[in-house]
């Protein structure tokens, strides 16, 4: 398996062994382990990413930019094969990339310490900050309308029309929750039409298993770069809220385990702002807390839509998996909304701290 790919990259097949790797829901990932070097091989899911060449051209451009402006920055770009190509179509007709495996790194599916949240938030903030002067018009949209809530609501409404009655019954509570929180769409429409909210280079999938950590739980770098494209910073901050605040993640069936850890909110705010506070406009900053509502709601809708559509998008392991995920996300959304007054206090507190430090008081 994959012999032709390894040969294509000049690797000696007999020196490596291959096993599935990671817990992504979209692409298929493998670790290629050797005595001296290891690699990550990833097959692009073309049912989702229809233009793998667009992913590739974005990453090539960004890599060139970092090489020129920030050569010390750890940007884990796909390796080039012997013909200088960083994406290849293998004998099986599928598209693959090979990445260097970052030695000494590991990923986590849960955050146990605010230090991890802080450190990951610094990494995502740094990425966007370092690319602040990158010409975003050069980037392709690898997934059109990816975080467009208007579209996600429309897709959900369409699914309501075509779903089997049995599924609509099972999901009645979540369908109501989706409706109850439709004000999130109204706020979303306000900021997308506000021209003080610029498009930036955004990662768009900041969940914690897209960060590599060292043994001391310091974030080394960010990975899973296929959705790097122009977008709003709310996408990145919001998905951190969605995936870092609760000790139980989107797979958790026991909804009592979904709680909001406000000290993790503080860590995300401090970490992200340590990189981005001088870059974000005042208007953007006003939406910091809203970002979490936006992304949790959107993810709840996406899981629910996929459940109603008979699981055509996300990988699932059991009957009703996407409905469980949707229930989970709506529970998280409730908790998040309840914690908003605390979030406001945290932001005020951290801002005061930063001001005091800045003034040398």
Distance CA(183)–CA(282), nearest Å, equals 22
Stretch that binds ligand GN1, among 20-28, 189-197, 304-312, 341-349 (CB under 6 A): 20-28
Stretch that binds Mg ion, among 24-32, 74-82, 98-106, 144-152 (CB under 5 A): 24-32
- 24: contact with Mg ion by CB under 5 A: yes
- 48: contact with ligand GN1 by CB under 6 A: yes
Residues 281, 226, 29, 70, Cα dihedral to 10°: -70
- 299: contact with ligand GN1 by CB under 6 A: yes
The contacts of residue 343 (CB under 8 Å, 6+ apart) are 262, 265, 289
Among 42, 81, 119, 227, binds ligand GN1 (CB under 6 A): 227
| Residues in a beta bridge with 212 | 221
Specify the residue, 209 or 217, whose C-beta has the smaller distance to Mg ion: 209
The contacts of residue 235 (CB under 8 Å, 6+ apart) are 147, 202, 203, 204, 206, 291, 295
Contact letters for Mg ion, residues 38-77 (x by CB under 5 A): ----------------------------------------
- 26: contact with ligand GN1 by CB under 6 A: yes
- 56: contact with ligand GN1 by CB under 6 A: no
CB < 8 Å & 24+ apart, contacts of 77-82: 77/225, 79/9, 79/39, 81/8, 81/9, 81/10, 82/8, 82/9, 82/10
Among 56, 116, 224, 252, binds ligand GN1 (CB under 6 A): 224
- 205: contact with ligand GN1 by CB under 6 A: yes
CA quadruple 342, 345, 349, 354: dihedral sign = positive
Least CB distance from residue 233 to ligand GN1, whole Å?
16
Three-class SS state of 89:
strand
Least CB distance from residue 348 to ligand GN1, whole Å?
30
Distance CA(31)–CA(11), nearest Å, equals 14
How many residues of this chain interact with ligand GN1, rule: CB under 6 A? 11
How many residues of this chain interact with Mg ion, rule: CB under 5 A? 3
Interface with ligand GN1 in residues 313-352 (CB under 6 A): none
- 119: contact with Mg ion by CB under 5 A: no
- 220: contact with ligand GN1 by CB under 6 A: no
Among 42, 45, 210, 289, binds Mg ion (CB under 5 A): 210
Least CB distance from residue 300 to Mg ion, whole Å?
19
Length of the chain: 361
Given a contact cutoff of 8 angstroms between Cβ atoms, the answer to whether 56 and 2 are in contact is no
Specify the residue, 266 or 300, whose C-beta has the smaller distance to ligand GN1: 300
What secondary structure does DSSP assign to 262-316, as a single string? Answer: HHHHHHHHHHHHHHHTTTS-HHHHHTTTHHHHHHHHHHHHHHHHHHHTTSSSS--
- 25: contact with ligand GN1 by CB under 6 A: yes
**Residues at the site binding ligand GN1, with contacts judged by CB under 6 A:** 24-26, 48, 205, 207, 210, 224, 227, 250, 299
**Residues at the site binding Mg ion, with contacts judged by CB under 5 A:** 24, 210, 224
């Amino acid at each position: 398996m994959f012999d032709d790919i390894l040969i294509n990259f000049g690797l000696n097949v007999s020196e490596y062994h291959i096993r599935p790797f990671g817990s992504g829901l979209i692409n298929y990932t493998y670790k290629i382990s050797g005595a001296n070097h290891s690699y990550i091989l990833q097959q692009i899911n073309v049912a989702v990413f229809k233009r793998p060449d667009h992913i590739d051209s974005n990453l090539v451009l960004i890599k060139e930019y970092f090489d020129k402006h920030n050569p010390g920055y750890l940007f884990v770009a796909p390796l080039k094969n012997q013909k200088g190509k960083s994406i290849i179509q293998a004998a099986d007709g599928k598209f693959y990339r090979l990445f260097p495996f970052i030695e000494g790194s590991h990923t986590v599916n849960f955050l146990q310490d605010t230090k991890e949240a802080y450190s990951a938030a610094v990494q995502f903030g740094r990425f966007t900050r370092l690319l602040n002067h990158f010409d975003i018009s050069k980037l392709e949209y690898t997934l059109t309308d990816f975080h467009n809530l208007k579209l996600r609501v429309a897709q959900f409404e369409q699914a309501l029309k075509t779903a089997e009655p049995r599924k609509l019954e099972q999901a009645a509570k979540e369908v109501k929750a989706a409706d109850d929180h439709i004000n999130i769409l109204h706020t979303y429409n306000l900021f997308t039409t506000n021209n003080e909210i610029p498009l930036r280079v955004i990662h768009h999938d900041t969940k914690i298993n897209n960060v590599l950590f060292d043994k001391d739980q310091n974030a080394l770098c960010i990975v899973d770069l296929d959705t790097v494209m122009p977008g709003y910073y709310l996408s990145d901050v919001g998905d951190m809220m969605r995936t870092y605040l609760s000790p139980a993640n989107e797979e958790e069936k026991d909804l009592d385990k979904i709680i909001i850890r406000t000290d993790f909110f503080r860590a995300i705010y401090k970490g992200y702002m340590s990189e981005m506070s001088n870059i974000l406009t005042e208007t953007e900053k006003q939406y910091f807390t809203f970002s979490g509502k936006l992304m949790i709601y959107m993810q709840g809708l996406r899981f629910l839509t996929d459940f109603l559509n008979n699981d055509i998008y996300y990988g699932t392991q059991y009957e009703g998996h996407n409905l469980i995920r949707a229930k989970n996300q709506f529970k998280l959304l409730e908790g998040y909304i309840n914690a908003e007054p605390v979030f406001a206090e945290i932001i005020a507190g951290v801002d005061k701290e930063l001001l005091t430090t800045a003034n040398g008081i």
